[in-house]
Amino acid sequence: MAGAGEDSRALFGAGVRAALEAWPALQIAVENSFGGVHSQEKAEWLGGAVEEYFFRNEGPILSYSADLELEEVEDFLGELMTNEFDTVVEDGSLPQVSQQLQTMFQHFQRGDGAALKEMASHITQRKCKVRATALTTSSEADKDDADSVEEMEVTATNDGAATDGVCPQPEPSGPDSQTIKEEDIVEDGWTIVRRKK
């Protein structure tokens, strides 16, 4: 029976690593070296640290195994991201990743290796779909890069024309307040705005 427990633990570890590898916030932090020159090594270490965190906080009875609250897992992951990658995760993904990890740990505690495998496989497949979509989108953007820049300029010009080139400003609060005045229009359609005292 010890062999089955070791297999389940290995499956849980693989699931943790799959969830972390599919986490966009962590991948962006690694790709941009937010954790310094050893960002990739820190990401690999993070998988082991998260796995160990769950085992350290495991309840003594399987039915009481949900002793780790979702908020605790979120706090732990958020603290690791802040300390190791100087990153504050505010994209809403922290609760999702925490929930995935907590669900995998519950499967582990029940000895449900099939559910662990299925969940890790599903996470990996979803990650591959997202990357394939991102690659397709970026290659299309590269083709039309010059056109999109022109379109953005036209949009900016049209937005300015719709509001007569001046954003609504709050009413001056006194005689010393500064106002913004439109000076001149550059030939490519942009407006130069300067402060006037």
Number of domains making up the chain: 2
Cβ burial 37-62 (10 Å sphere, 16+ → b, else e)? eebeebbeebbeebbebbeeebeeee
Q: What is the pLDDT of residue 52?
A: 94
Q: What is the pLDDT of residue 100?
A: 95
* Domain range enclosing 70: 2-143
Average pLDDT rounded to a whole number, residues 57-61 = 63
Q: Tell me: do 139 and 84 sit in the same domain.
A: yes
- Which residue from 42, 48, 57 is spatially nearest to 10, judged by alpha carbons? 48
Q: Tell me: do 31 and 85 sit in the same domain.
A: yes
Which residue in the block uniquely carries the two structure tokens 């039915």?
Answer: 63
Digit-coded pLDDT (tens) for 120-154:
888 888 765 544 444 444 445 555 544 444 443 33
Q: Tell me: do 19 and 52 sit in the same domain.
A: yes
**Amino acid identity at 196:** K
Cα 15–chain centre separation: 19
Q: How confident is the model at residue 8 (pLDDT cuts 50, 70, 90)?
A: confident
Q: Tell me: do 131 and 153 sit in the same domain.
A: no
Q: Tell me: do 123 and 172 sit in the same domain.
A: no
Cβ proximity of 100 and 115 under 8 Å: no
Q: Tell me: do 35 and 129 sit in the same domain.
A: yes
Q: Tell me: do 62 and 111 sit in the same domain.
A: yes
Q: Tell me: do 139 and 53 sit in the same domain.
A: yes
Q: Tell me: do 125 and 36 sit in the same domain.
A: yes
